[in-house]
Structure 1
Amino acid sequence: MARRPQQRFTEDDFETLEGRASKTEQKKAVQRMAALGEQLAELNPKQIQKLPVEERLIDALLDVRSITSHEARRRQFLRIGKLLRNEDESVILSYLTPQQGAKKTAQLQRWVERMIIQGDPVIKEFMKAHNAAEHHPIRQHILRIQRDITKQVPAEELAESKLKLFNYIQQVALISDN
Protein backbone atom coordinates (compact mmCIF):
# COMPACT_ATOMS: atom_id res chain seq x y z
CA MET A 1 0.00 0.00 0.00
CA ALA A 2 1.35 3.41 -0.93
CA ARG A 3 2.02 5.92 1.80
CA ARG A 4 0.20 9.17 1.72
CA PRO A 5 2.36 12.25 1.42
CA GLN A 6 2.76 13.92 4.79
CA GLN A 7 0.67 17.07 5.00
CA ARG A 8 2.30 20.19 6.38
CA PHE A 9 0.15 22.47 8.47
CA THR A 10 0.56 26.21 8.40
CA GLU A 11 -0.09 28.76 11.12
CA ASP A 12 -3.28 29.80 9.28
CA ASP A 13 -4.67 26.28 9.68
CA PHE A 14 -4.40 26.56 13.45
CA GLU A 15 -5.79 30.10 13.50
CA THR A 16 -9.03 28.88 11.88
CA LEU A 17 -9.44 26.16 14.51
CA GLU A 18 -8.53 28.30 17.51
CA GLY A 19 -11.98 29.51 18.52
CA ARG A 20 -13.76 26.28 17.67
CA ALA A 21 -14.97 24.05 20.50
CA SER A 22 -14.30 20.32 20.51
CA LYS A 23 -17.16 17.82 20.49
CA THR A 24 -16.63 17.18 24.19
CA GLU A 25 -16.82 20.90 24.95
CA GLN A 26 -19.98 21.17 22.87
CA LYS A 27 -21.58 18.26 24.76
CA LYS A 28 -20.63 19.77 28.10
CA ALA A 29 -22.06 23.10 27.00
CA VAL A 30 -25.35 21.35 26.20
CA GLN A 31 -25.30 19.73 29.65
CA ARG A 32 -24.58 23.11 31.24
CA MET A 33 -27.49 24.67 29.34
CA ALA A 34 -29.73 21.76 30.38
CA ALA A 35 -28.79 22.44 34.01
CA LEU A 36 -29.66 26.11 33.50
CA GLY A 37 -32.94 24.94 31.98
CA GLU A 38 -33.62 22.98 35.17
CA GLN A 39 -33.12 26.15 37.17
CA LEU A 40 -35.40 28.09 34.83
CA ALA A 41 -38.05 25.39 35.19
CA GLU A 42 -38.00 25.95 38.97
CA LEU A 43 -39.27 29.50 38.45
CA ASN A 44 -42.99 29.94 38.92
CA PRO A 45 -45.18 29.90 35.77
CA LYS A 46 -45.71 33.68 35.81
CA GLN A 47 -41.95 34.28 35.84
CA ILE A 48 -41.48 31.76 33.03
CA GLN A 49 -44.14 33.54 30.95
CA LYS A 50 -42.29 36.85 31.41
CA LEU A 51 -38.96 35.49 30.13
CA PRO A 52 -37.87 37.38 26.99
CA VAL A 53 -37.22 34.17 25.02
CA GLU A 54 -38.84 32.25 22.17
CA GLU A 55 -42.33 30.92 22.72
CA ARG A 56 -41.11 27.35 22.07
CA LEU A 57 -38.73 27.61 25.02
CA ILE A 58 -41.46 28.96 27.30
CA ASP A 59 -43.74 26.09 26.25
CA ALA A 60 -40.98 23.55 26.87
CA LEU A 61 -40.30 24.99 30.33
CA LEU A 62 -43.99 24.84 31.22
CA ASP A 63 -44.37 21.32 29.77
CA VAL A 64 -41.55 19.91 31.89
CA ARG A 65 -43.64 20.52 35.02
CA SER A 66 -46.16 17.89 33.92
CA ILE A 67 -43.58 15.23 32.98
CA THR A 68 -43.09 12.62 35.69
CA SER A 69 -40.86 10.04 33.97
CA HIS A 70 -37.19 10.54 34.82
CA GLU A 71 -35.97 9.72 31.31
CA ALA A 72 -38.60 11.92 29.67
CA ARG A 73 -37.62 14.82 31.95
CA ARG A 74 -33.95 14.30 31.10
CA ARG A 75 -34.71 14.40 27.36
CA GLN A 76 -36.92 17.46 27.83
CA PHE A 77 -34.12 19.29 29.66
CA LEU A 78 -31.71 18.41 26.84
CA ARG A 79 -34.25 19.90 24.42
CA ILE A 80 -34.49 22.99 26.61
CA GLY A 81 -30.69 23.19 26.61
CA LYS A 82 -30.68 23.17 22.81
CA LEU A 83 -33.33 25.88 22.71
CA LEU A 84 -31.33 27.95 25.21
CA ARG A 85 -28.34 27.97 22.85
CA ASN A 86 -30.33 30.28 20.56
CA GLU A 87 -30.96 32.76 23.37
CA ASP A 88 -28.79 35.49 24.83
CA GLU A 89 -26.90 34.08 27.85
CA SER A 90 -26.80 37.43 29.61
CA VAL A 91 -30.60 37.77 29.60
CA ILE A 92 -31.14 34.25 30.90
CA LEU A 93 -28.52 34.67 33.60
CA SER A 94 -30.07 37.98 34.63
CA TYR A 95 -33.27 36.12 35.50
CA LEU A 96 -31.38 33.53 37.52
CA THR A 97 -28.94 35.94 39.18
CA PRO A 98 -31.42 37.22 41.80
CA GLN A 99 -31.23 33.71 43.26
CA GLN A 100 -27.51 34.32 43.80
CA GLY A 101 -27.76 37.88 45.04
CA ALA A 102 -25.58 40.94 44.55
CA LYS A 103 -22.92 39.74 46.99
CA LYS A 104 -22.41 36.49 45.06
CA THR A 105 -22.28 38.37 41.74
CA ALA A 106 -19.59 40.72 43.07
CA GLN A 107 -17.67 37.72 44.38
CA LEU A 108 -17.80 36.06 40.94
CA GLN A 109 -16.59 39.28 39.33
CA ARG A 110 -13.61 39.25 41.70
CA TRP A 111 -12.92 35.63 40.70
CA VAL A 112 -12.86 36.67 37.04
CA GLU A 113 -10.42 39.52 37.68
CA ARG A 114 -8.15 37.31 39.77
CA MET A 115 -8.17 34.58 37.08
CA ILE A 116 -7.17 37.06 34.41
CA ILE A 117 -4.30 38.44 36.50
CA GLN A 118 -3.02 35.34 38.31
CA GLY A 119 -3.98 32.49 35.95
CA ASP A 120 -3.85 28.76 36.75
CA PRO A 121 -3.53 28.83 40.57
CA VAL A 122 -6.75 30.84 40.84
CA ILE A 123 -8.48 28.62 38.25
CA LYS A 124 -7.63 25.54 40.33
CA GLU A 125 -8.87 27.27 43.48
CA PHE A 126 -12.14 28.18 41.72
CA MET A 127 -12.53 24.60 40.48
CA LYS A 128 -12.19 23.28 44.04
CA ALA A 129 -14.91 25.66 45.20
CA HIS A 130 -17.25 24.98 42.24
CA ASN A 131 -17.53 21.32 41.24
CA ALA A 132 -19.13 22.03 37.84
CA ALA A 133 -16.14 24.09 36.64
CA GLU A 134 -13.86 22.79 33.92
CA HIS A 135 -10.29 23.91 33.45
CA HIS A 136 -10.15 24.02 29.65
CA PRO A 137 -13.02 26.44 28.90
CA ILE A 138 -11.90 28.83 31.62
CA ARG A 139 -8.32 28.69 30.36
CA GLN A 140 -9.47 29.33 26.76
CA HIS A 141 -11.45 32.40 27.83
CA ILE A 142 -8.50 33.75 29.80
CA LEU A 143 -6.05 33.15 26.95
CA ARG A 144 -8.41 35.00 24.60
CA ILE A 145 -8.64 37.94 27.02
CA GLN A 146 -4.88 38.05 27.51
CA ARG A 147 -4.36 37.93 23.74
CA ASP A 148 -6.83 40.80 23.33
CA ILE A 149 -4.93 42.80 25.94
CA THR A 150 -1.57 42.27 24.22
CA LYS A 151 -3.04 43.10 20.80
CA GLN A 152 -4.61 46.21 22.36
CA VAL A 153 -8.03 45.56 20.83
CA PRO A 154 -10.78 48.15 21.31
CA ALA A 155 -12.28 48.31 24.79
CA GLU A 156 -15.65 47.01 23.56
CA GLU A 157 -14.10 43.78 22.27
CA LEU A 158 -12.15 43.29 25.49
CA ALA A 159 -15.30 43.90 27.54
CA GLU A 160 -17.15 41.35 25.40
CA SER A 161 -14.44 38.73 26.02
CA LYS A 162 -14.57 39.40 29.75
CA LEU A 163 -18.38 39.15 29.69
CA LYS A 164 -18.16 35.72 28.05
CA LEU A 165 -15.84 34.53 30.81
CA PHE A 166 -18.09 36.05 33.47
CA ASN A 167 -21.16 34.36 31.93
CA TYR A 168 -19.39 31.00 32.00
CA ILE A 169 -18.28 31.52 35.61
CA GLN A 170 -21.82 32.56 36.56
CA GLN A 171 -23.29 29.47 34.89
CA VAL A 172 -20.86 27.22 36.72
CA ALA A 173 -21.64 28.92 40.03
CA LEU A 174 -25.39 28.54 39.50
CA ILE A 175 -25.02 24.86 38.66
CA SER A 176 -22.57 24.19 41.50
CA ASP A 177 -24.76 25.85 44.12
CA ASN A 178 -27.45 23.22 43.66
Structure 2
Amino acid sequence: MTEYNDTPASKTRRKQDMQELQEVGLTLMELKPAQQARLPLNDPLRNALDEARRISNLDARRRHALFVGRLISDSGPDALLQALATLTDPTRQQRLQQWTEQVIACENVKELEPILHQVLEFHPHGDRQSLRNQARNLVKARLDNPADASTEQRDRFKRERKKFQALLNDLEKTAPLY
Protein backbone atom coordinates (compact mmCIF):
# COMPACT_ATOMS: atom_id res chain seq x y z
CA MET A 1 0.00 0.00 0.00
CA THR A 2 1.04 3.56 -0.40
CA GLU A 3 1.24 6.06 2.37
CA TYR A 4 -2.03 7.62 1.18
CA ASN A 5 -3.99 4.40 1.60
CA ASP A 6 -2.79 3.67 5.14
CA THR A 7 -5.41 4.46 7.72
CA PRO A 8 -4.11 6.59 10.57
CA ALA A 9 -4.34 5.30 14.12
CA SER A 10 -7.41 6.40 16.00
CA LYS A 11 -7.15 9.10 18.61
CA THR A 12 -7.85 6.53 21.33
CA ARG A 13 -5.02 4.29 20.08
CA ARG A 14 -2.60 7.25 19.98
CA LYS A 15 -3.55 8.15 23.58
CA GLN A 16 -3.01 4.55 24.69
CA ASP A 17 0.39 4.51 23.00
CA MET A 18 1.38 7.75 24.71
CA GLN A 19 0.17 6.37 28.07
CA GLU A 20 2.38 3.30 27.58
CA LEU A 21 5.34 5.50 26.67
CA GLN A 22 4.68 7.65 29.76
CA GLU A 23 4.92 4.48 31.88
CA VAL A 24 8.18 3.59 30.12
CA GLY A 25 9.35 7.13 30.88
CA LEU A 26 8.57 6.63 34.58
CA THR A 27 10.49 3.35 34.51
CA LEU A 28 13.48 5.08 32.89
CA MET A 29 13.35 7.86 35.45
CA GLU A 30 13.54 5.30 38.28
CA LEU A 31 16.67 3.60 36.90
CA LYS A 32 20.07 4.34 38.35
CA PRO A 33 22.46 6.43 36.23
CA ALA A 34 24.69 3.42 35.57
CA GLN A 35 21.71 1.47 34.24
CA GLN A 36 20.61 4.42 32.10
CA ALA A 37 24.10 4.62 30.62
CA ARG A 38 23.72 1.09 29.21
CA LEU A 39 20.57 2.04 27.26
CA PRO A 40 20.53 3.47 23.71
CA LEU A 41 19.48 7.00 24.62
CA ASN A 42 19.85 10.05 22.41
CA ASP A 43 21.09 13.36 23.85
CA PRO A 44 17.71 15.07 24.45
CA LEU A 45 16.39 11.97 26.20
CA ARG A 46 19.54 11.63 28.31
CA ASN A 47 19.28 15.31 29.31
CA ALA A 48 15.59 14.88 30.21
CA LEU A 49 16.45 11.90 32.43
CA ASP A 50 19.21 13.90 34.11
CA GLU A 51 16.69 16.68 34.73
CA ALA A 52 14.21 14.16 36.19
CA ARG A 53 16.55 13.47 39.11
CA ARG A 54 15.96 17.00 40.39
CA ILE A 55 12.14 16.79 40.29
CA SER A 56 10.50 15.70 43.53
CA ASN A 57 6.90 16.91 43.14
CA LEU A 58 4.63 14.03 42.04
CA ASP A 59 2.62 16.07 39.53
CA ALA A 60 5.78 17.53 38.08
CA ARG A 61 7.25 14.01 37.74
CA ARG A 62 4.11 12.86 35.96
CA ARG A 63 4.28 15.76 33.51
CA HIS A 64 7.99 15.17 32.99
CA ALA A 65 7.26 11.48 32.32
CA LEU A 66 4.88 12.66 29.58
CA PHE A 67 7.71 14.70 28.12
CA VAL A 68 10.11 11.75 28.33
CA GLY A 69 7.49 9.54 26.66
CA ARG A 70 7.19 12.06 23.83
CA LEU A 71 10.98 12.07 23.42
CA ILE A 72 10.97 8.26 23.31
CA SER A 73 8.25 8.34 20.66
CA ASP A 74 10.20 10.83 18.56
CA SER A 75 13.43 8.82 18.71
CA GLY A 76 11.94 5.44 17.75
CA PRO A 77 11.07 3.34 20.77
CA ASP A 78 11.77 -0.18 19.48
CA ALA A 79 15.49 -0.48 20.33
CA LEU A 80 15.03 1.31 23.66
CA LEU A 81 12.10 -0.90 24.71
CA GLN A 82 14.01 -4.05 23.81
CA ALA A 83 17.10 -2.91 25.76
CA LEU A 84 14.93 -1.92 28.73
CA ALA A 85 13.25 -5.35 28.74
CA THR A 86 16.67 -7.00 28.75
CA LEU A 87 17.88 -4.75 31.56
CA THR A 88 14.87 -5.38 33.77
CA ASP A 89 14.65 -9.13 33.08
CA PRO A 90 13.31 -10.70 36.31
CA THR A 91 14.86 -14.12 35.56
CA ARG A 92 18.41 -12.76 35.37
CA GLN A 93 19.35 -13.60 38.94
CA GLN A 94 17.73 -17.02 38.72
CA ARG A 95 19.73 -17.79 35.57
CA LEU A 96 23.01 -16.82 37.27
CA GLN A 97 22.12 -18.93 40.31
CA GLN A 98 21.30 -21.94 38.12
CA TRP A 99 24.64 -21.70 36.33
CA THR A 100 26.44 -21.60 39.68
CA GLU A 101 24.54 -24.64 40.94
CA GLN A 102 25.25 -26.53 37.71
CA VAL A 103 28.97 -25.82 38.05
CA ILE A 104 28.94 -26.98 41.68
CA ALA A 105 27.15 -30.18 40.66
CA CYS A 106 29.93 -31.13 38.21
CA GLU A 107 32.06 -34.05 39.32
CA ASN A 108 35.12 -33.11 37.26
CA VAL A 109 36.45 -30.30 35.11
CA LYS A 110 35.46 -31.95 31.81
CA GLU A 111 31.78 -31.67 32.68
CA LEU A 112 32.11 -27.85 32.87
CA GLU A 113 32.39 -27.26 29.11
CA PRO A 114 28.66 -27.40 28.22
CA ILE A 115 27.79 -25.06 31.08
CA LEU A 116 30.55 -22.60 30.20
CA HIS A 117 29.51 -22.78 26.54
CA GLN A 118 25.96 -21.87 27.58
CA VAL A 119 27.21 -18.91 29.64
CA LEU A 120 29.36 -17.69 26.75
CA GLU A 121 26.48 -18.05 24.28
CA PHE A 122 24.45 -15.76 26.50
CA HIS A 123 27.41 -13.41 27.13
CA PRO A 124 29.72 -13.59 24.09
CA HIS A 125 31.77 -10.65 25.37
CA GLY A 126 32.95 -12.74 28.34
CA ASP A 127 36.53 -13.91 28.83
CA ARG A 128 36.54 -17.68 28.34
CA GLN A 129 39.82 -18.20 30.19
CA SER A 130 38.87 -16.38 33.39
CA LEU A 131 35.43 -18.01 33.38
CA ARG A 132 37.02 -21.46 32.98
CA ASN A 133 39.55 -20.76 35.75
CA GLN A 134 36.92 -19.56 38.21
CA ALA A 135 34.67 -22.54 37.44
CA ARG A 136 37.58 -24.96 37.84
CA ASN A 137 38.49 -23.40 41.21
CA LEU A 138 34.87 -23.71 42.33
CA VAL A 139 34.72 -27.40 41.36
CA LYS A 140 38.00 -28.09 43.18
CA ALA A 141 36.75 -26.33 46.31
CA ARG A 142 33.43 -28.19 46.25
CA LEU A 143 32.59 -30.05 49.45
CA ASP A 144 31.68 -33.71 48.99
CA ASN A 145 30.52 -34.07 52.57
CA PRO A 146 29.82 -30.69 54.21
CA ALA A 147 29.39 -32.23 57.67
CA ASP A 148 32.96 -33.59 57.71
CA ALA A 149 34.57 -30.51 56.16
CA SER A 150 36.77 -28.24 58.22
CA THR A 151 35.98 -24.56 58.60
CA GLU A 152 38.92 -23.76 56.32
CA GLN A 153 37.43 -25.92 53.55
CA ARG A 154 33.99 -24.39 54.00
CA ASP A 155 35.46 -20.89 53.91
CA ARG A 156 37.40 -21.71 50.73
CA PHE A 157 34.22 -23.06 49.09
CA LYS A 158 32.25 -19.94 50.07
CA ARG A 159 35.05 -17.69 48.79
CA GLU A 160 35.27 -19.50 45.43
CA ARG A 161 31.50 -19.52 45.03
CA LYS A 162 31.38 -15.81 45.74
CA LYS A 163 34.13 -15.14 43.18
CA PHE A 164 32.32 -17.17 40.51
CA GLN A 165 29.03 -15.39 41.19
CA ALA A 166 30.80 -12.02 41.08
CA LEU A 167 32.27 -12.93 37.69
CA LEU A 168 28.81 -13.86 36.38
CA ASN A 169 27.35 -10.63 37.79
CA ASP A 170 30.08 -8.61 36.08
CA LEU A 171 29.32 -10.35 32.80
CA GLU A 172 25.66 -9.49 33.23
CA LYS A 173 26.35 -5.85 34.14
CA THR A 174 28.69 -5.26 31.21
CA ALA A 175 26.58 -7.10 28.62
CA PRO A 176 25.69 -4.87 25.67
CA LEU A 177 21.96 -4.27 25.52
CA TYR A 178 21.77 -3.12 21.91
- Give the TM-score band, short-chain normalised: 0.3 to 0.5
Higher helix share: 1
Bigger radius of gyration: 2
Compute the TM-score of the two structures, normalised by the length of structure 1. Answer: 0.44
